[in-house]
Amino acid sequence: MLSNAHSTIALSMDVFRIIRTAINKRFGILFSDSDRYLLESRLSARLTDLELSSFEEYIAYFKTTSNDAELDTAIELLTNNETYFFREDYQLSAFNDELLPRLQMQKRKERQLTIWSAGCSSGEEAYSIAIFIAESGLFSGWDVRIFGSDISSRMLERARQSRFGKSAFRTTSEYLKMKYFKRQGAQWELDSQVREKCSFAKINLLDTDRTAMLGRFDAIFCRNVLMYFDKKARINTVHLFHRHLNPNGYLLLGHTESLFNQDTPFTQVNLREALVYQKQESALA
């Protein structure tokens, strides 16, 4: 008999490990043994949609489809997409006060600035960066592009809509909210000039075919993403960022994601309020 929409289907440790390994291989995300109940409760809804009554059937279903396509669907139910405007604002302030003036000097001939928000969820990080750049007044008349990427189509769709509810503004000043957003019922719509600087695409950071098509950036933000990865995926992703930064470009990670004690090609830069990483000018690749 099939379960109704609210029931949970039991996930054995053996099957949990098969699913966990497949997810880890494709996305780098590592679930611990204690996450079994999370997978059980979140994936039960997926099994119900597929009219499957056990996780053993789900594994068999995997084999009749492309594993990757099903994993892309399943991961939407499993990742933490938490984000909001001006998150870790001490780091964004350091970016604003210390890195943007440096980047303006570094890029003054090209007058082009490109920033990547990798693992951008619903876009608040990319748009916060765009707002800081607009506020700085340092790049008027420049070609400024902010690129956001994520594995979640659902989150990217929200990012493209650029309309946000109350919780997205939990640390936003009234000044910036009023200046860059217009109220639309219960939501707030981002100013079109800021929105136009930003574009979004679905990219799995572990998909080397897809990431090989990306160009180079002056700064890469990847915050609260690597903390979910295993060590190998973290190292590979840090090297990916190194390849995709311009010489002297900067990498900004979340506050729990320091590269301390890790194999890294980056140089650590201690700003007044934050720690960032820089690709040295002479660095090859």
Cα-to-chain-centroid distance, residue 230:
16
Q: Per rule CB under 6 A, is residue 119 in the interface with ligand SAM? A: yes
- Which of 35, 42, 160, 191 is catalytic? The answer is 42
How far apart (Å, rounded) are the C-alpha atoms in residues 208 and 92?
29
- Burial of 265: CB neighbours in 10 Å, binned 0-12, 13-18, 19+: middle
87 near ligand SAM, judged by CB under 6 A: yes
**103 sits near ligand SAM (criterion: CB under 6 A):** no
Q: Given candidates 43, 92, 190, 206, which one binds ligand SAM under the rule CB under 6 A?
A: 206
Rounded CA separation 203/194 (Å): 22
Using the rule CB under 6 A, which residue among 9, 11, 15, 29 binds ligand SAM?
29
Question: What's at 281, amino acid-wise?
Answer: E
Distance CA(87)–CA(84), nearest Å, equals 6
Q: Which stretch binds ligand SAM (CB under 6 A): 82-90, 156-164, 168-176, 269-277?
A: 82-90
Task: Please name the amino acid found at residue 140.
Answer: S
For residue 170, the one-letter residue type is: R
Name the residue type at position 239.
Answer: H
Stretch of 60-68, 157-165, 173-181, 218-226 contacting ligand SAM, by CB under 6 A: 218-226
Q: How far is the CB of 185 from ligand SAM (least distance, A)?
A: 25
Q: Which stretch binds ligand SAM (CB under 6 A): 15-23, 97-105, 145-153, 193-201?
A: 145-153
On the 0-12 / 13-18 / 19+ scale of CB atoms within 10 A, 57 is middle
Quote the CA–CA distance of 255 and 157 in Å, as a whole number. Answer: 27
Among 225, 251, 252, 274, which residue interacts with ligand SAM (rule: CB under 6 A)? 225
238 binds ligand SAM (CB under 6 A): no
Report the interface residues with ligand SAM, using CB under 6 A. 27-29, 79-83, 87, 119-121, 125, 150-152, 155, 204-206, 223-225, 228, 254
Catalytic residues: 42, 150
